[in-house]
Amino acid sequence: MKKIAISIGDVNGIGMQILLACHDELVKICKPYYFVHYDLIKKASKLLNLKPKAKMNLVEISYANEPKFIFKEEKDNFLIYNFSYQASKAIDFDFELNPANLDAKSGMYSFLSFQGASYCTHLFLDALVTLPINKKTWQMAGIEYKGHTEALRDFFKQDAIMMLGCEKLFVALYTEHIALREVYKRIKALKLAQFLINFYKCTLFENIGVLSFNPHASDDGVIGGEEEIEIKKAIKMTNVFLKDENLSLLNLENEDFLNQKEKELSYKENIFLSDPLVADSAFTPFSLSKCRYLVSMYHDLALAPLKALYFDESINVSLNLPIIRTSVDHGTAYDKAYKNENINLQSYMQAANVAINFAKIKEKNK
């Protein structure tokens, strides 16, 4: 079975309940390693009155100049490991849980659990699943990143791609957490084409649609249209390149050369639909029956309909990295934390399943 790292997220939110409630099911499909100290999970287990039957692998993080992953001891129903690495902040786990409250200590701990799990996954494990953080508590703790994906870009010095959804619909975001007024400046054919190529190579999806930027895909230039020209060229460049990777993407910027190569390679199937899709109709049942993999130019254009349709089962996936990382697509839900309320566990189990599947694909491609 695949070895899956689980970063703990914000210990004051619903993450601990999700982890404890799902453990006995999760061990049937993978070998999970929870990046949390024994003292903290014992406190959470007592507050929630949740005690899984199957033994749990805990990974306690500590600082060291050289990374090391070792078995430490068995205690109660836990097998305790230690992962030592060059943590960027001091590791403090000697604090009380503060359910449903913003807390700098929990923010720092959630970041270090994630950082340690990321590096350990890269060196020793098969994939990473992240439980929800609170961005405000990261800020309170002096963490400069706005979220998991931004941090992963910096950890591994690679341009991570954010994809969200489920088997019924996956959407990738060309831009993420930036002001809307900045988005159009980023829509340039060469840069977008490289993004589309990376997205395809990470997923091997086919029949992928790219959403337009302007209403009605600009109505042939009636409503703006400069962005759609760049999007359409990027799609053409991508399809041609994926048919013959001996070509230079830079050379394909030349319109005459691009058109010539498109004609020469027309006998091969396109991976991406040739024209930008009208965004306001791309999420109808009919449209999704034809195309369920989409790329959006900005955050809310894709995520508003996705969450309206599939909120409970959607997950977050980070692509184009040395590690596979998936996450629940919901927040810390402080309003439900440590109240023993019924919590939807579907997103978490979906995240684990997708992580396992991508790990198997990665293994086959080695």
Average pLDDT over residues 126-142: 96
Identify the pLDDT of residue 363. 78
User: Binding site annotation covers 316?
Assistant: yes
State yes or no: 177 annotated in a binding site: yes
pLDDT in tens, 242-294: 999 999 999 999 999 999 999 999 999 999 999 999 999 999 999 999 999 99
pLDDT of res. 286: 95
The pLDDT of 114-143, averaged and rounded, is 97
Consult the annotation and say whether 149 binds a ligand. yes
Q: What pLDDT is stored for residue 81 in this prediction?
A: 98
Please say whether the beta carbons of 33 and 129 come within 8 A: no
User: What is the CATH T-level fold of the domain 3-160+316-365, as seen in this structure?
Assistant: Isopropylmalate Dehydrogenase (3.40.718)
* Structure confidence by residue, pLDDT tens digits, 302-356: 999 999 999 888 899 999 999 999 999 889 999 999 998 888 899 899 999 999 9
State yes or no: pLDDT of 139 exceeds 70. Answer: yes
User: How far is it, in rounded angstroms, from Cα 76 to Cα 172?
Assistant: 43
Q: Reply yes or no on whether the pLDDT at 361 is more than 80.
A: no
pLDDT for 173 equals 97
Is 186 annotated as contributing to ligand binding? no
What HEC string does 308-334 produce?
HHHCCCCEEEEECCCCCEEEECCCCCH
330 annotated as ligand-binding: no
50-107 pLDDT per residue, tens: 999 999 999 999 999 999 999 999 999 999 999 999 999 999 999 999 999 999 999 9
C-alpha distances in Å from residue 99, one per residue of 10, 315, 335 = 10, 24, 9
pLDDT confidence bin for 362, thresholds 50/70/90: confident
Supply the pLDDT for residue 334.
Answer: 94
CB-based contact 10:134 (threshold 8 Å) = yes
- pLDDT at residue 299 above 90? yes
What is the pLDDT at residue 366?
Answer: 67
Mean per-residue pLDDT for 167-192? 94
Q: Which of 224 and 46 is assigned the larger pLDDT? A: 46
Q: How many residues does the chain have?
A: 366
| Conformational region of residue 87, where left means phi above 0, alpha means psi within -120 to 50, and beta covers everything else | beta
Q: What is the mean pLDDT of residues 31-35?
A: 98
Q: What percent of the chain has pLDDT over 90?
A: 87
- If pLDDT is split at 50, 70 and 90, which confidence band does 222 have? confident
Chain-wide mean pLDDT for the chain? 94
**Is pLDDT at 187 greater than 80 in this prediction?**
yes
Domain boundaries, the chain: 3-160+316-365, 168-304
Q: 168-304: which CATH number, 3.40.1280.10, 3.30.470.20, 3.30.310.50, 3.40.718.10? A: 3.40.718.10
Identical topology for domains 3-160+316-365 and 168-304 = yes
Task: Give the residues across from 296 on adjacent strands.
Answer: 173
Give Cα 267 distance to the centre of its chain: 35
The per-residue pLDDT for 360 is 85
